[in-house]
Amino acid sequence: MSHPVNRFLAASLAFLLGGVVTPTGPRKPDFQGDWTNETQTVLERIGETETLTAEETAAYVTHARQPWRGELFSERDLDVIRINGRARSSILIDPPNGRIPSRTEAGKKRLAEIAARRATFGEFDHPETRPLSERCLVSFGSNAGPPMLPNYYYNNNYTIVQSKDHIMILTEMNHDARIIP
C-alpha cells in the first residue's frame, strides 16, 4: 500500500488535471478516506539547504519520540516530509529559500489597524476580542486551513467524504468541517 501523503498528492494532481483516463473511460479521483498531514518538518527553513542530512533527519525522529509525547501522538515514518525520498528542511518550497516573504506595507498597515481597534477594548470586554479558536469557532491551530498546516503534536487527521459534486473535509482538531463544491 502506498504512503497516504503520496496517494493524496497523486489524487490532487489528477483532480487538478481534470480527472484520470482509465481503460474504462474518464474518472474523477477518489479522495474519500482518512488522511493525516502529521510531520515534524518546520514551516520555514532554518538553515540554507532544502533537504536534511541523515543526521538531521535522525534528530527530528529522536525528538518526535521523546517520552513526554510517546508513541500515542506519532505515527511511524511520518516524522519528516520527504519528496522523492529526500527529507525536506521546511514545509515551504516556494519561495525557493523556504521562508515566508516579508509583509507588504499594505499588510503591515492592515495589521496595525486591527491592533488599534482591539486596543480600544479591554481584553475581556466582549467575545469579539477573543481568538476564534478560544471561542471554539475554528481549530486551535491551522489544521482546518486554508492552508491546512500540521499541528505538529496531535490531531492532524482528516476524514474526507466525497459525493458527485462536493468534497467534505472534517478535521480531527475541533471537528471543523469544510464543504467544497
Helix (H, G, I), strand (E, B), or coil: what is residue 61? helix
* 19-70 pLDDT, tens digit each: 566 666 667 788 899 988 888 888 899 888 999 999 988 887 777 666 655 5
Report d(CA 64, CA 72) in Å as an integer.
11
Beta-bridge partner residues of 124: none
CB 71 within 8 A of CB 111: no
Q: Identify which of 153, 155, 140 has the alpha carbon closest to the alpha carbon of residue 35.
A: 155
Residue 68 φ then ψ, to 5°: -65, -20
pLDDT of residue 2: 47
Report d(CA 45, CA 175) in Å as an integer.
30
Query: What's the pTM?
Result: 0.63
Report d(CA 15, CA 32) in Å as an integer.
13
* 25-34 pLDDT, tens digit each: 667 788 899 9
Residue 115 φ then ψ, to 5°: -65, -40
- Segment (H or E) for 162: strand 157-162
* 94-137 pLDDT, tens digit each: 898 999 999 999 999 999 998 898 888 877 787 777 777 777 77
Identity of the residue numbered 21:
V
| pLDDT exceeds cutoff 60 at 15 | no
